[in-house]
Structures are given as C-alpha cells and as structure tokens.
Amino acid sequence: KSAEKKMKEKKAKEYLDPEKGKVSKEAGNEKFKAGDWPGAIKEYSEAIKRDPEQSVYYNNRAAAYMKLMDFGRAMDDCKQAIKIDPKFVKAWGRKGNIEFFLKEYHKAMDSYKMGLELDAENQVCK
C-alpha cells in the first residue's frame, strides 16, 4: 500500500511543470472569454495539476465554477487560493461575492473587509 502511494506521489511530481501550467492557464482564459466555462475549468484544472501552488489558477477556476452556478466548488477554490496567498485580494473579493450570493451576508462582509484591508481601493470589495 505504501509503495503504491509513493508511486502516485512520484508520478504527480513528474507531472509538475510550471511552464505547461501557464500554457493551460492561458488556454483556460481564452475558453473563459469565449463563454466555454466547462472548457475553462478543464484547462485551469490542468494548470493546477502542473503547478499547484499558483493561487491565480484556483481563483480563475472559481470564476468559471461561479458561471456554472457551482458555488460549492467555487468557494473551495477561493479558500485554496487564499490558503496559498492570504494577501490575494481578488480571491477575497470573489469569496465575498459567493457568500453574498448565498445570502451569507456577515461572512461576505468579513471577506470584503479582509480584501479592503489589503487594498482599500479594490472595487469588488467596496
């Protein structure tokens, strides 16, 4: 069992490639702009597999999930983006938007407040 786990970890490490992650992110951005939300999610997911420490990739995928009204997954991705980079204002704003949409107004206010503490001029958080 432990050998199997080590093999999976080895394969995952071999798969890491930040340059290919950037390519997938750009492909995701193009699909997002074209309104192909599932295609964008697929590309952002690939970018995350290639470079899992890029908070932007999670935040972008959260935006695509929001377009599909999949707020649970969008929230998970916002939280992961914030975990990687607690100063990522866009992720705080997106998290607040999800909470607002879900009528969790107090949580939304807290998220927006965090974003404004980091960037007082952020329009999403205002």
In this structure, how many other beta carbons lie within 10 angstroms of the beta carbon of residue 5? 9
The pTM of the full predicted model, rounded to 2 decimals, is 0.92
DSSP assignment string, 71-103? HHHHHHHHHHHHHH-TT-HHHHHHHHHHHHHTT
Each residue of 54-87: pLDDT tens digit? 999 999 999 999 999 999 999 999 999 999 999 9
pLDDT band at 17 (very low <50, low <70, confident <90, very high): very high
pLDDT band at 1 (very low <50, low <70, confident <90, very high): low
Please check whether the domain covering 2-85 is classified as CATH 3.20.20.10. Answer: no
Indicate if the pLDDT at residue 5 is higher than 90. Answer: no
**Block residue for tokens 């939300």:** 37
pLDDT band at 6 (very low <50, low <70, confident <90, very high): confident
Rounded mean pLDDT, 37-43: 99
Measuring CA to CA, which residue among 44, 41, 53 is closest to residue 16? 53
Residue 15: the pLDDT is 87
Rounded mean pLDDT, 106-114: 98
